Chain A
């Protein structure tokens, strides 16, 4: 079945550091990819999505580029802030079943002041 792999379970950075969270996927069809962010006590909220190869999604300084060749959708931010501390989830929905949305295990980002 389809799956999403996030390599890092926890990431600790200092303010103004560069962030990369790795996301690789496996899908039988041509998936749409998502990044979500979750703050304590809240539900996950969508950062952005991308639907086709080479498409870049971006929001709030975060960005990721859909790479069908490497089956990746890595999240990046040039300069993190303490307020970016949260859990980040990569997710996909496959075009063979657009209703079923599968999430990765999440990456907990801690940004130290």
Chain B
């Protein structure tokens, strides 16, 4: 079976810092996603990538950059961390066709001091 690996699992940053989160999948899936999870707000789509070198903005893309370097990896950069920010960032992947359900990693938990 495949797996989605997110690194790091925990990330502590400073206000104004640029922070990068990484995601790898070995399902050979075409489509990958980054979601942000906040208590009471559910999962909000930041970026998704239909295939290698493609980037699509979600509803929450402001303040973030993304990069799909190769089919198996998708990274997310917080361009300037906000003070007291706390959230979980979830990476997911899917075959991307016929409305396939995304499969999720375990998340990266971000805290900004």
Residues in A lying within 8 Å of B, measured CB to CB: 1, 6, 9, 31-32, 34, 36, 41-46, 49, 51, 89, 91, 93, 95, 98-106
Q: Chain A contacts of B41 at CB under 8 A? A: 105
Question: Whose C-beta in chain B lies nearest to the C-beta of A105?
Answer: B42
Given contacts A42-B106, A44-B43, A103-B42, contact A49 B98 (CB under 8 A): no
Q: Chain B contacts of A101 at CB under 8 A? A: 33, 45, 94, 101-102
Question: Whose C-beta in chain B lies nearest to the C-beta of A32?
Answer: B99
Q: Chain B contacts of A95 at CB under 8 A? A: 99
Q: Chain A contacts of B97 at CB under 8 A? A: 98
- For chain B, the count of residues having a C-beta within 8 Å of the partner chain is 29
Residues in B lying within 8 Å of A, measured CB to CB: 4, 31, 33, 35, 40-45, 48, 50, 56, 58-59, 90, 92, 94, 96-99, 101-107
Q: How far is the CA of A105 from the CA of B38 in the complex (A)?
A: 9
**Judging by beta carbons under 8 Å apart, are B98 and A46 in contact?**
no
Q: How far is the CA of A51 from the CA of B40 in the complex (A)?
A: 27
Q: Chain B contacts of A105 at CB under 8 A? A: 40-42
